[in-house]
């Protein structure tokens, strides 16, 4: 890969959301913002190869995308009024209301997460517009077809345009009702970064995990008393702390039980544990924890153990029992089965996992979990078949390498 190609990939990871958000704020049109941003990146491929990478790629891309958007509006005579409106907005942008956070990307997230949209549409649209994920990557995250996801995103943008949903931060009174969708978006953006779904991408995208954490901190500044915001931030920090040990030198995914715990980021763990303790204190005072707070507590137990053998699986199972009452999804049940295997044995856990076949037949982690349980039971041929299916469905090279090694270790 050339230096220019690497710079373009890096700029797309780091600048896509900024460019789209800046154009969305100026022109108030998500389709126009996305199309102009895409044209700017396509132009960069040609120009940067000829002229070299500019000193400030983000500013270059934003300027180029803005020019492309204005050119497009000029060509469309029927949108002359919109062009003049955009020019006026550019020349005299009103100041933000007192106390609002001046971050275009956060405004864009709240626009994409407007309650007029269905929850799945909010998440998908924001992953595309803010996270910069491709439609196939988002489709994999939702376990749906590419065409289905493309239609979902298109309808969401059309809904925003038809309903004239404004590109701005919600008022203080509206924030609590709007934050649920935002947290769901940030969680999926973080997950995509922690274990990327694209087969040709890096297994871990630090730019996405960093951005998700940064935006979650901003949301917490808006809602410092919201337990789920604090819980999500703690969950992200405790997960991100393990990132240095997540991928081996040869690019293979490293499972939790094989990770070098000395490589974990102790500062992030300390911050995450502090947030969990604060939420536990709130729970003791009668405030019931939500989904993200329980997930953070589970991760706090994992990151408290100096060795995998020191893990308090009884506490983890108790937390999963609490979580499954809030979120009885098949994926939560699958994760709970891992804790069951450590306490009641792999045979009991396998019975639980086999009951999830219909719901998770196309989910690679289901087959990987089942393969591991079958391996522990000495059922090597069945384990091999399960590993083969997991490898077939795996989302990136790191997962594929790990699963292949596990399969090949079978007798």
Contacts of 12 (CB under 8 A, 6+ apart): 41, 132
Is the CB of residue 63 less than 8 Å from the CB of residue 39? no
**pTM of this structure:** 0.76
338 lies in some domain: yes
381 lies in some domain: yes
Query: At 324, phi and psi to the nearest 5?
Result: -65, -25
32 lies in some domain: no
336 lies in some domain: yes
Range of the domain at 391: 312-411
Question: Interhelix angle for 266-284 vs 227-240, to 10°?
Answer: 150
Distance CA 328, CA 249 (A): 37
108 lies in some domain: no
Share of the chain above pLDDT 70, in %: 91
144-195: pLDDT as tens digits? 788 999 999 999 988 888 888 877 777 777 777 788 888 988 998 888 788 7
Q: What is the pLDDT of residue 292?
A: 96
Q: How many domains does the structure of the chain reveal?
A: 1
396 lies in some domain: yes
CATH of the domain at 388: 1.25.40.10
399 lies in some domain: yes
Q: What is the pLDDT of residue 100?
A: 42
385 lies in some domain: yes
Q: What is the pLDDT of residue 91?
A: 47
| Local confidence band at 372 (pLDDT 50, 70, 90 cut-offs) | very high
230-286: pLDDT as tens digits? 999 999 999 999 999 999 988 899 999 999 999 999 999 999 999 999 988 888 788
- Mean pLDDT to the nearest integer, 114-124: 84
């Amino acid at each position: 890969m050339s230096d220019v190609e690497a710079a373009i990939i890096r700029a797309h990871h780091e600048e896509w959301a900024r460019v789209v958000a800046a154009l969305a704020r100026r022109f108030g049109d998500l389709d126009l913002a996305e199309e102009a941003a895409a044209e700017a990146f396509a132009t960069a491929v040609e120009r940067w190869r000829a002229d070299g990478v500019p000193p400030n790629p983000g500013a270059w891309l934003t300027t180029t995308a803005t020019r492309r958007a204005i050119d497009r509006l000029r060509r469309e005579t029927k949108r002359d009024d919109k062009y003049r409106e955009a020019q006026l907005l550019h020349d005299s942008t009103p100041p933000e209301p007192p106390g609002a956070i001046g971050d275009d990307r956060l405004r864009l997230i709240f626009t994409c997460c407007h309650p007029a949209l269905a929850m799945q549409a909010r998440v998908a649209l924001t992953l595309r517009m803010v996270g910069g994920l491709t439609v196939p990557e988002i489709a994999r995250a939702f376990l749906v077809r590419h065409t289905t996801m493309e239609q979902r995103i298109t309808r969401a943008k059309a809904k925003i345009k038809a309903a004239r949903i404004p590109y701005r931060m919600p008022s203080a009174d509206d924030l609590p009702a709007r934050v649920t969708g935002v947290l769901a978006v940030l969680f999926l953006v973080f997950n995509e970064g922690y274990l990327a779904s694209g087969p040709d991408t890096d297994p871990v995208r630090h730019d996405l995990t960093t951005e998700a954490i940064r935006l979650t901190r901003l949301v917490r500044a808006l809602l410092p008393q919201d337990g789920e915001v604090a819980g999500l931030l703690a969950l992200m920090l405790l997960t991100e702390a393990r990132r240095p040990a997540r991928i081996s030198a040869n690019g293979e995914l490293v499972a939790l039980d094989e990770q070098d715990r000395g490589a974990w980021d102790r500062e992030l763990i300390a911050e995450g544990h502090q947030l969990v303790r604060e939420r536990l204190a709130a729970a003791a005072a009668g405030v019931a924890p939500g989904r993200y707070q329980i997930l953070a507590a589970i991760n706090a137990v994992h990151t408290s153990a100096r060795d995998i053998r020191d893990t308090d699986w009884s506490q983890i199972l108790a937390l999963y029992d609490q979580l499954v009452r809030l979120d009885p999804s098949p994926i939560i049940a699958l994760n709970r089965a891992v804790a069951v295997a450590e306490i009641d044995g792999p045979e009991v856990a396998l019975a639980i996992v086999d009951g999830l076949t219909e719901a998770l037949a196309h989910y690679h982690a289901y087959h990987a979990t089942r393969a591991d349980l079958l391996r522990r039971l000495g059922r090597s041929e069945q384990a091999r078949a399960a590993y083969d299916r997991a490898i077939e469905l795996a989302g990136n090279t790191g997962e594929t390498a790990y699963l292949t090694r596990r399969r090949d270790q079978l007798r």
